[in-house]
Amino acid sequence: MAQRYDALGRDFTIHASVCTISSVIYLHIAAKSFQKNLAYRAANVAGILTNTFFGAIYISIYTALFRGRGDVGGLDVRDAVTYAIIAQSLLMVMSAFGNRELSEAIVKGQIVTDLSRPLDFYLYWAAIDLGRAVYFLLFRGAPTFVIGMLIFRGRLPADAGTWLLFFSSIVTGTLLSFTFRFIANSLAFWTTDARGILYLTNTLLMFFAGFIVPINFFPAWLRTLAEALPFRGLAQVPINVYLGKMTGPALARVLGEQVLWLIAWVLIGRWVLGRMVQRLTVNGG
């Protein structure tokens, strides 16, 4: 955090100290972002209906598949039903469909203004994403989850500790999602094909997170691959924690890995940002 970025190459040391003192500002930015999303109420209700509907289809499919079977890949039919409910609830929290806000700001040149603000650009966008994630957790994820549980009778976690672990894994997942998307979106700075790239990266993210099919059902080789990648932190990990399928040392190892990934992505993201600023200050945008 020693580095302060100013696209216009101005001396930024004064701002830097102001910035650290009033890191409250990022909470304000997050709150603003939260409020912005609040405006789309009808769209959100429609979204809850959509998520519930897709959940219902998944549940029908799993129920039919499991007919006459016990455990498959460590899940039984009720686990699978619960998986479907939570996956639908987490979709928007984790931005599983991607989010092009940053890349669009880059393409439109908006980031020159953003960069010249006395703010840390990375934290600025992190705050925006945090506000968005909290909004979707409360107003999309929670209702979808409650409705799904009531209609389809999923499992509830064994104890309060599980709830706690579940929430921490959601937080980790959200951060993983943001740090990864920051890098992917930043590529818009160097290529005009950002949309295509985001499309591709997002596909990978969705699939290897376990949003489409639980990784538990993957064939062995694909499962090995999925477990080596960090994306499962967005769906597979939180849901398995919730179901009590991931506990003790195994869970500690997985969460440890996720934190390492997170650090790596923050570093890469900041490095990419540095390059971007360098380019802007040298070429003047």
Partner 1 sequence: MREGLRLYFRMIGMQVRSEMQYRASFVAELVGNLLVTGLDFVMVAVLLMRFQAIGGWTLAEVVFLYGSSAVSFSLAELFVGTFDNFEQWVVRGDFDRVLLRPLPVIFQMLTGAFPLRRFGRLAQGTIALGVAFVLLKPVWNVGHWLFWGVMLAGGALFFMAIFVLGATLSFWSPQMHEVANIFTYGGQFMTSYPMHIYEAWLRSIFTFVIPLAFVNYYPALFLLGKPDPFGLPGWVSFLAPLIAVAAFRGAIAIWRVGVRHYQSTGS
Partner 2 sequence: MISVVALKKEFRVYRHHRGALGAVRNLVTREAHVVHAVDGVSFRIAPGELVGYLGPNGAGKSTTLKILTGILVPTDGEVRVAGRVPWLQRTEHVRGLGAVFGQRTGLWWDLPVIESLDLLRHIYRVPADRYRQNLRLFDALLDLGPFLDTPVRSLSLGQRMRADLAAALLHDPMLLFLDEPTIGLDVVAKERIRGFIRAINRERGTTVILTTHDLGDVEKLCERVIMIDHGRLVFDGALETLRQRFGEGRVLVVDFETPPGPLSLPGAETIRQEANRVWLRVAAHGSVAGIVPLLFRDQRVLDLSVQEPEIEEVVRRIYEGHLLADEAG
10 or 32: CB nearest partner 2: 32
> For residues 125 and 67, what is the distance between their CA atoms, to the nearest angstrom?
46
> Virtual CA dihedral for 262, 270, 35, 188, nearest 10 degrees?
-110
Nearer to partner 1, 116 or 201 (CB): 201
Which does residue 248 bind out of partner 2, partner 1, none, counting CB within 5 to 8 angstroms by kind?
A: none
Strands (E), 156-229: none
Closest CB to partner 2 among 93 and 241? Answer: 93
CB of 145 to partner 2, least distance (A): 13
Q: 45 or 158: whose CB is closer to partner 2? A: 45
Beta carbon nearer to partner 2, 100 or 140: 140
Angle between helices 121-136 and 248-283 (to 10 degrees): 130
**How many angstroms separate the CA atoms of 193 and 79, rounded?**
40
Least gap, CB of 140 to partner 2 (angstroms): 10
The distance of closest approach from Cβ of residue 41 to partner 1 in the complex, given in angstroms and rounded to an integer, is: 8
Residues that bind partner 1 (CB under 8 A): 40-43, 46-47, 49-50, 53-54, 56-57, 60-61, 63-67, 69, 72-73, 191-197, 199-200, 202-203, 206-207, 212-213, 217-219, 222
Q: Using CB distances below 5 to 8 A depending on partner kind, what does residue 66 bind out of partner 1, partner 2, none?
A: partner 1
Token pair belonging to 110: 């908006």
Q: Cα-flanking dihedrals φ and ψ of residue 203, to 5°? A: -60, -45
Smallest gap from Cβ 125 to partner 2, in A, equals 26
Burial call 58-86: b when 16+ CB within 10 Å, e when fewer: bbeebeeebeeeeebeebebbbbbbbbbb
Number of helices and strands in the chain (H, E): 13, 0
The entry of partner 1, partner 2, none near residue 267 (CB within 5 to 8 angstroms by kind) is none
| Nearer to partner 1 (CB atom), residue 40 or residue 271 | 40
- Work out how close the CB of 64 gets to partner 1 at its nearest, in angstroms, rounded to a whole number: 4
Partner from partner 2, partner 1, none contacting 143, C-beta within 5 to 8 A by type:
partner 2
DSSP string of 38-72, one letter each residue: HT-HHHHHHHHHHHHHHHHHHHHHHHHHHTT---B
Nearer to partner 2, 21 or 42 (CB): 42
**Please, what is the minimum distance in Å from the beta carbon of residue 204 to partner 1?**
8
Q: Return the closest-CA partner of residue 88 out of 255, 282, 238, 216.
A: 238
Which of partner 2, partner 1, none interacts with 83 (beta carbon under 5 to 8 A by kind)?
A: none
On whether the CB atoms of residues 100 and 185 are closer than 8 A, the answer is yes
Q: Could you tell me which residues are beta bridge partners of residue 72? A: 75
Residues that bind partner 2 (CB under 8 A): 41-42, 44-45, 138-139, 143
Partner that binds at residue 149, options partner 2, partner 1, none, CB closer than 5 to 8 Å by kind? none
Pairwise CA distance, residues 284 & 86, whole Å: 46
Q: How far is the CB of 56 from partner 2 (least distance, A)?
A: 19
